[in-house]
């Protein structure tokens, strides 16, 4: 066979997919903007930026699947953006808003403030690393540990609601420290959380679901930050509660058997 008879090898196309990675970049941008806003004392803007980053984070994966533009590069880039937007940014925002003021109570409290923020950040990094190693293996119906966007929503909701209600400083620092530590620990726990990935909105639902949806929208219009914070706390607490209920059911089945 001569060189002319051999099939030509097409060079591998190098580059990255633009649309999903652009959305990931937007998520990264809003996470960075949240930190900048918090340093300027604009805590409401900082909290809103984290929620916008959550929306962008939810879009990039769906856009990649719809346009068939998934790639290993996109997975790694998304994880780095999540670390900034849902790991570093919420910790620094809540530290600037309330945890830094714990220093007024003494040196020990000052250290507890920044250590709490660091523990949350470290737990977010561990959570994302574990998630990346379990892709394709874990049950898609559940998350193992509190998802980092949900943890970030809890902290951002607290900051947004507290700033809107003019509640801050060291009095807010104590509950903020507790919530920050709990969110961090739940991220690296083995507590299972519903992923809601099996929800299909094409099918009919009971009428009461529509009523609850309307009530949710109405409450959201009254005071968005408080409602968002309440929703985030409810989801954060749902994991441990459902875990306890599942264990009780298993014990009852064993005794019944």
> 79 is in which domain, residue-wise?
18-256
Q: Parallel, antiparallel, or unpaired for β 142-144 and 192-194? A: antiparallel
pTM (2 decimals)?
Answer: 0.86
Examine residue 3 and state whether it is found in any structural domain, yes or no: no
Q: Total structural domains in the chain? A: 1
Q: Which residues contact 17 (CB under 8 A, 6 or more apart)?
A: 64, 67, 69, 71, 74
Highest mean pLDDT among 33-42, 124-133, 188-197: 33-42
Q: How confident is the model at residue 208 (pLDDT cuts 50, 70, 90)?
A: low
Q: Does residue 10 form part of some domain?
A: no
Contact 158, 94 (CB under 8 A): yes
Span between the terminal Cα atoms of the chain, in Å = 73
Q: How many CB atoms lie within 10 A of CB 188?
A: 19
Tell me which H or E stretch contains 240.
helix 224-256
pLDDT band for position 217 (cuts 50, 70, 90): confident
Does some domain include residue 235? yes
- Does residue 2 lie within any of the structural domains? no
8 located within any domain:
no
**196: alpha, beta or left, given left = phi > 0 and alpha = psi -120 to 50?**
left
CA distance 186 to 235: 12
In a domain, 124, yes or no: yes
Residue 11 has pLDDT above 50, yes or no: no
| 31 in any annotated domain | yes
CATH number, domain with residue 171: 1.20.120.1760
**Lowest-confidence segment of 146-155, 189-198, 237-246 by average pLDDT:** 189-198
Per the prediction, the chain carries an average pLDDT of 86
Within a domain: 22: yes
């Amino acid at each position: 066979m001569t060189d002319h008879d051999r099939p030509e090898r097409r060079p591998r196309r190098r580059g990255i997919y633009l649309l999903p990675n652009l959305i990931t970049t937007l998520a990264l941008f809003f996470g960075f903007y949240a930190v900048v806003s918090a340093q300027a004392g604009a805590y409401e803007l900082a909290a809103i930026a984290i929620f916008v980053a959550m929306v962008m984070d939810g879009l990039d994966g769906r856009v990649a699947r719809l346009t068939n533009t998934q790639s290993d590069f996109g997975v790694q880039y998304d994880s780095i953006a999540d670390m900034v937007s849902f790991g570093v940014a919420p910790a620094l925002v809540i530290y600037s808003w309330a945890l830094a003021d714990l220093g007024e109570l003494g040196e020990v409290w000052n250290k507890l403030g920044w250590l709490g923020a660091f523990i949350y950040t470290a737990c977010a990094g561990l959570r994302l690393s574990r998630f990346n190693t379990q892709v394709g293996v874990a049950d898609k119906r559940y998350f193992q540990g509190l998802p980092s966007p949900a943890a970030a929503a809890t902290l951002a909701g607290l900051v947004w609601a507290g700033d809107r209600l003019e509640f801050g400083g060291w009095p807010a620092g104590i509950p903020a420290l507790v919530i920050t530590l709990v969110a961090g620990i739940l991220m690296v726990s083995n507590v299972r959380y519903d992923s809601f990935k099996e929800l299909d909105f094409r099918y009919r639902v009971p009428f009461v679901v529509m009523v609850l949806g309307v009530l949710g929208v109405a409450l959201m219009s009254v005071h968005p930050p408080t409602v968002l914070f309440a929703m985030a706390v409810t989801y954060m607490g749902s994991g441990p509660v459902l875990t306890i209920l599942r264990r009780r059911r298993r014990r009852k089945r064993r005794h019944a058997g």
